[in-house]
Amino acid sequence: MLTDLRLTARAGELTVLLGPNGAGKSTLLRTLCGLLPPLAGAVRVAGRDVSHDSALARARRLAVVLTDRVDPGLLSARELVSLGRHPHTGFTGRLTPTDHGIVRWALDAVDAAHLADRPAAELSDGERQRVLTARALAQEPEVILLDEPTAFLDVPSRVALTVLLRDLARDRGPTVVVSTHDLELALRVADAVWLVDRTGLVHSGAPEDLIRSGAVADTFDADHLAFDAHTGTFGLRRPVREEVPATAPPALLPLLERALAREGLAVRAPRTDERPRIQCEASGRFTLRTADGARHPAGFHELAREVRAW
């Protein structure tokens, strides 16, 4: 259980909520949007306790997309996004040309304009995720809360949606809070991070504050995973069984290191009196020197299979 929270997400910023499975991210988002009552304390938007708002007033101020499956019935994607306008449409519920324009903008923003006329029930997981995000954008609220909005998206779409949410916050001014497991992307793009660590403590700050304090490494480092604070990236921990004298042009060296690391080998520069055991040329030609003579594997796959026996 998360206790003693004193967190502020700022208008005009993208705040990401990070933490391991079961840390309480979804529960926190449900509490922030008023679906769960806080066990103590209050959630305030612009200083006002959201629990004092009527459902309609809350819907005007706060949009939320959770991970629960929604049943869109027979609605098209456009109609589903249009629901986002309802807190603003007044008694008749009729959409004005301005509302229709906002719905078009929201569908465009998440790259889902081509899905507008499709039955929402038939959309793929990633397509549905975009459309639900568009519905939240169409709501034009002060606060947008999204639980794992990139979970079903392919890699380019994850980057595009995360950057879109950051730019949306910057350009239009809402407060955007998003939970995600896309750690590296979040640490690169987000303005602020709320990081739930393994003990349930929530650290907040710019990504760089939490990288520097060691909170990111402490929370996510594991037997096979290590966070590199210099590059802000995660890498696999691999035991090195041997260092191999090898040469490669700068453009190919990182690939050679990766391929050899998978086989438990580390590259080292050959000594002056030593011939490299592995030589990689800019053309992509490999030379392996063994006791039986030189061999020329056709690519990284053959190279890896050869050195696996060393």
Ligand X SMILES: Nc1ncnc2c1ncn2[C@@H]1O[C@H](COP(=O)(O)OP(=O)(O)OP(=O)(O)O)[C@@H](O)[C@H]1O
Measured from the CB of residue 39, what is the shortest distance to ligand X in angstroms? 13
What residues from 16 to 75 belong to the interface with ligand X (CB under 6 A)? Answer: 19, 21-27
Q: Taking every pair of C-alpha atoms in the chain, what is the biggest distance, in angstroms?
A: 86
Q: Which stretch binds ligand X (CB under 6 A): 15-23, 127-135, 186-194, 200-208?
A: 15-23
Nearest-10 crossing angle of helices 97-109, 125-138:
140
* 162 vs 247, beta carbon nearer ligand X: 162
Q: Which stretch binds ligand X (CB under 6 A): 14-22, 74-82, 165-173, 300-308?
A: 14-22
Measured from the CB of residue 230, what is the shortest distance to ligand X in angstroms? 27
Contact 195, 32 (CB under 8 A): no
Binding-residue total with ligand X (CB under 6 A) = 8
Element (H, E) at 7: none
For residue 151, give the 3-state DSSP assignment. coil
* 107 vs 177, beta carbon nearer ligand X: 177
* 24 vs 149, beta carbon nearer ligand X: 24
Measured from the CB of residue 148, what is the shortest distance to ligand X in angstroms? 7
* 68 vs 223, beta carbon nearer ligand X: 68
Q: How many CA atoms lie within 13 A of 234 on its CB side?
A: 18
Measured from the CB of residue 243, what is the shortest distance to ligand X in angstroms? 39
Burial class (CB within 10 angstroms; exposed 0-12, middle 13-18, buried 19+) of 99: middle
Report DSSP state, residue 174: -
User: Is the sign of the CA dihedral 39, 44, 48, 54 positive or negative?
Assistant: negative
| Residue 153 CB contacts under 8 Å (≥ 6 apart), including other chains | 126, 129, 130, 161
Residue 213 in the binding site for ligand X (CB under 6 A):
no
* 131 vs 196, beta carbon nearer ligand X: 196
* 26 vs 89, beta carbon nearer ligand X: 26
Measured from the CB of residue 26, what is the shortest distance to ligand X in angstroms? 3
Measured from the CB of residue 151, what is the shortest distance to ligand X in angstroms? 9
160 is written with which tokens? 């595009």
**Neighbour tally for 58: CB within 10 Å:** 20
Rounded distance between C-alpha atoms, residue 69 and residue 121, angstroms: 11
* 1 vs 251, beta carbon nearer ligand X: 1
Measured from the CB of residue 130, what is the shortest distance to ligand X in angstroms? 20
Rounded distance between C-alpha atoms, residue 143 and residue 33, angstroms: 9
Amino acid (1-letter code) at residue 205 = G
Binding site for ligand X (CB under 6 A): 19, 21-27
